[in-house]
Chains A and B, each alone.
Chain A
């Protein structure tokens, strides 16, 4: 960061690229991403692999760039649909984190809420004999309600008993993980896979193995819902009283109380919405991308979502972009590791680096402003 301070062309370039305050919302995250990709490339280089082809593999694995060859019945589109299938729960989960963050709450329990919602929907709808037109909407509804209840509980504990939401959601994560593991292991276990028995195809939110023009692909239905949800959340925050109140509570709890906003109600409400979104993430994860639940495992999606949400500046549109990017890294890493011979974990290192630099956003902004002011002073003195 010291570069900015010097009077060299680099400083001027930085100001030129990042100086415009209107675009800093976008330009600084992109700057953070680029730096981390460069750092990641250096690491890959040190490991003796070609970083360009490794990054290319990420895109190929995500179905955004064609691979050299495909197995029978597969194509780039197959990969891309699978990419979207994995992307869907990530969008929902990140929106869940963002809604809570806007109201000043930190929902670290998205994974637990996803699991609870996925499990309840699996047991009630997934193992029923309902037909697809009833089962699919019902699964979505039940998952959303379950998630909302768990999220609402966290909000209520905070409001009524002053229990820090970070603590209660972590406790609930564990409780959900173990109770559900107990029920799966005693009642719903598939003796071969050691996971819960697969849900019926009628209830699944992903249509598996659909044949289009001789190519097989998994069609994710939830992606449409996810994009609608992102737009709806944006509308709520930008255009409604509810959104305004939530943001006010998040910005300053005391000021909102003086302004006559019911802080407790809004906190619980934000957690209800957040939980419902987490529930939808659970439905599209456990009854979509996967069709079963692995006992005693919380999905990493709920935790990655925190990162995605931060990178997207808690803005629904920003989240659509940042989740797309993080998903490329997550989804493409398997292909990269098999093709380039790199450990798949390098992908999460790059994700971590992106977040690290994104967290420095304020500082970058501050340095850019300082350099800019200094340069203007110099210009004035020279004139």
Chain B
């Protein structure tokens, strides 16, 4: 049971923070299928920085770990400017832009990882080895039955994510900026009439999604395999999108959806292990989160309401 909670959380939280990024972007009216690419590029930049730092500072220092997070956020944010540029300035189709950015990120990270490894570090490899993350256990709280697992073996990124998620929630629902974001996705013309630059708000929202996706990407890199290669993050961006649509573009229900994905995944693994089934049966259990999602969506999707202006290019002249 403890393992289910520990592993479930370490998978659900990065997914959640990425979904929050998606919520920002989509609530501002920019469809964001690019989450996948944003997290990949963010993780790549973060991992590269950590790898370089580790060579000079040794593997015991925790500095590379935090610098990796910082640079993953920056990397994701900078790369997301491309999506913002295409969608807001160039008025490209947002779905297409998202897919293109994913394809390009996948190609670029694979290519650059190989090229940098060979030319700079002189080692033919398609991945960056990262140090193993420290894990924290809160002394008193971890002794509580069942719930104690939440405070056991925490990755530092989980704490960072919880803090940032709370700030992001506050920013979106309780501040002026958050209101502008939400208004841009529902009625950009009204926002414009109120004297606010729709394009600027949208670019900021997309950058937010890039930053949060980058954080998610590096978290996956540390929790799943302690190394970066383009293979480790395939598909989680789309899963985050599923989570946010499932959560009806609202932050709290999205948390529920992501926890569901996380626990279904870790729970499935645990079942296979406990029953002592051969490893090929884990494939069968792996479908659990997806089947559960589909079934739940059948019941809850009817009332799902996407932001009204989602995917629409803002055109001042149009009414």
Complex contact A296–B283 (CB within 8 A): yes
B3 CB to closest chain A CB, in angstroms?
Answer: 21
Q: What is the bound-complex CA distance between A308 and B258, given in angstroms?
A: 32
Complex contact B287–A174 (CB within 8 A): yes
Interface residue B108 (Cβ < 8 Å from any Cβ of A): yes
B292 CB to closest chain A CB, in angstroms?
Answer: 10
B291: chain A residues within 8 A (beta carbon): 171, 175
A166-189, CB < 8 A from B: 166-168, 170-172, 174-175, 178-179, 181-182, 185-186
Q: Using A47-B115, A178-B284 as known contacts, say yes or no to A167 and B241 having CB atoms under 8 A apart.
A: yes
Contacts between the two chains (Cβ within 8 Å), count: 134
Interface residue A25 (Cβ < 8 Å from any Cβ of B): no
Interface residue A229 (Cβ < 8 Å from any Cβ of B): no
Interface residue B52 (Cβ < 8 Å from any Cβ of A): no
Pairs A–B under 8 Å by Cβ, sample size 26: A161-B301, A163-B294, A166-B241, A167-B246, A168-B294, A170-B241, A170-B242, A171-B291, A171-B293, A178-B284, A179-B284, A182-B284, A186-B280, A295-B283, A304-B103, A310-B100, A349-B111, A352-B100, A355-B100, A355-B103, A358-B100, A359-B96, A359-B97, A361-B92, A363-B92, A366-B91
B55-100, CB < 8 A from A: 82, 86, 89-93, 95-97, 99-100
Closest to B305 in A: A162
Q: What is the bound-complex CA distance between A179 and B286, given in angstroms?
A: 9
B304: chain A residues within 8 A (beta carbon): 162, 164
Complex contact B242–A179 (CB within 8 A): no
Complex contact A343–B115 (CB within 8 A): yes
Interface residue A353 (Cβ < 8 Å from any Cβ of B): yes
A98: chain B residues within 8 A (beta carbon): none
A366: chain B residues within 8 A (beta carbon): 91
Closest to B286 in A: A178
Complex contact B297–A161 (CB within 8 A): yes
Interface residue A145 (Cβ < 8 Å from any Cβ of B): no
B199 CB to closest chain A CB, in angstroms?
Answer: 14
B86: chain A residues within 8 A (beta carbon): 356, 359-360
Q: Which residues of A contact B (CB under 8 A)?
A: 47, 106, 108, 157, 161-164, 166-168, 170-172, 174-175, 178-179, 181-182, 185-186, 295-296, 303-304, 306-307, 310, 343, 345-346, 348-349, 351-353, 355-356, 358-363, 366
A159 CB to closest chain B CB, in angstroms?
Answer: 11
Interface residue B110 (Cβ < 8 Å from any Cβ of A): yes
Interface 1/0 per residue, B114-137 and A, CB below 8 Å? 110000000000000000000000
Q: What is the bound-complex CA distance between A167 and B294, given in angstroms?
A: 9
Residue among A106, A168, A345, A361 with the most chain B CB within 10 A?
A: A345
Closest to B109 in A: A345
Complex contact B107–A345 (CB within 8 A): yes
Q: What is the bound-complex CA distance between A252 and B304, given in angstroms?
A: 20
Choose one: B103, B104, B281; the contact of A303 (CB below 8 Å).
B103
B133 CB to closest chain A CB, in angstroms?
Answer: 26
Q: What is the bound-complex CA distance between A157 and B239, given in angstroms?
A: 18
A288 CB to closest chain B CB, in angstroms?
Answer: 24
Q: Using A162-B301, A360-B92 as known contacts, say yes or no to A355 and B115 having CB atoms under 8 A apart.
A: no
Interface residue B238 (Cβ < 8 Å from any Cβ of A): yes
Taking A157-B294, A307-B99, A353-B104 as given, write out 9 further A-B residue pairs in contact, using a Cβ cutoff of 8 Å, ordered by the A residue number: A162-B301, A162-B304, A163-B297, A164-B304, A166-B33, A170-B242, A179-B284, A349-B104, A351-B107
B156-178, CB < 8 A from A: none
Q: Using A170-B238, A171-B242 as known contacts, say yes or no to A352 and B104 having CB atoms under 8 A apart.
A: yes
Closest to B115 in A: A343
Q: What is the bound-complex CA distance between A295 and B283, given in angstroms?
A: 10
Complex contact B283–A185 (CB within 8 A): yes
Closest to A352 in B: B104
Choose one: B90, B91, B103; the contact of A351 (CB below 8 Å).
B103
Q: What is the bound-complex CA distance between A10 and B110, given in angstroms?
A: 36
Q: Using A167-B241, A178-B283, A363-B90 as known contacts, say yes or no to A356 and B100 having CB atoms under 8 A apart.
A: yes
B36 CB to closest chain A CB, in angstroms?
Answer: 10
Choose one: B33, B111, B235, B283; the contact of A345 (CB below 8 Å).
B111
Interface residue B106 (Cβ < 8 Å from any Cβ of A): yes
Q: What is the bound-complex CA distance between A366 and B108, given in angstroms?
A: 29
Complex contact B297–A182 (CB within 8 A): no
Residue among B246, B283, B301 with the most chain A CB within 10 A?
A: B283
Q: Using A163-B301, A168-B297, A175-B291 as known contacts, say yes or no to A348 and B92 having CB atoms under 8 A apart.
A: no
Q: What is the bound-complex CA distance between A290 and B204, given in angstroms?
A: 46
Q: What is the bound-complex CA distance between A207 and B97, given in angstroms?
A: 39
Q: What is the bound-complex CA distance between A353 and B110, given in angstroms?
A: 15
Q: What is the bound-complex CA distance between A130 and B93, given in angstroms?
A: 48
Q: What is the bound-complex CA distance between A360 and B280, given in angstroms?
A: 45
Q: What is the bound-complex CA distance between A249 and B82, given in angstroms?
A: 31
Complex contact B298–A157 (CB within 8 A): yes
B286: chain A residues within 8 A (beta carbon): 174, 178
A136 CB to closest chain B CB, in angstroms?
Answer: 30
Closest to A47 in B: B115
Complex contact B114–A175 (CB within 8 A): no
Complex contact A306–B284 (CB within 8 A): no
Q: What is the bound-complex CA distance between A168 and B294, given in angstroms?
A: 7
A47: chain B residues within 8 A (beta carbon): 115
Q: What is the bound-complex CA distance between A131 and B302, given in angstroms?
A: 49
A330 CB to closest chain B CB, in angstroms?
Answer: 12
5 pairs of A and B residues whose beta carbons are closest in the complex? A352-B104, A348-B107, A363-B90, A345-B111, A182-B283
Q: What is the bound-complex CA distance between A47 and B115, given in angstroms?
A: 9
B107: chain A residues within 8 A (beta carbon): 345, 348-349, 351-352
Q: What is the bound-complex CA distance between A247 and B99, given in angstroms?
A: 22
Interface residue B245 (Cβ < 8 Å from any Cβ of A): yes
Closest to A187 in B: B280
A189 CB to closest chain B CB, in angstroms?
Answer: 9
Complex contact B91–A363 (CB within 8 A): yes
Complex contact B290–A174 (CB within 8 A): yes
Closest to A347 in B: B107
B104: chain A residues within 8 A (beta carbon): 349, 352-353, 355-356
A108: chain B residues within 8 A (beta carbon): 99, 238
Q: What is the bound-complex CA distance between A330 and B235, given in angstroms?
A: 22
Residue among A106, A306, A352 with the most chain B CB within 10 A?
A: A352
A182: chain B residues within 8 A (beta carbon): 280-281, 283-284
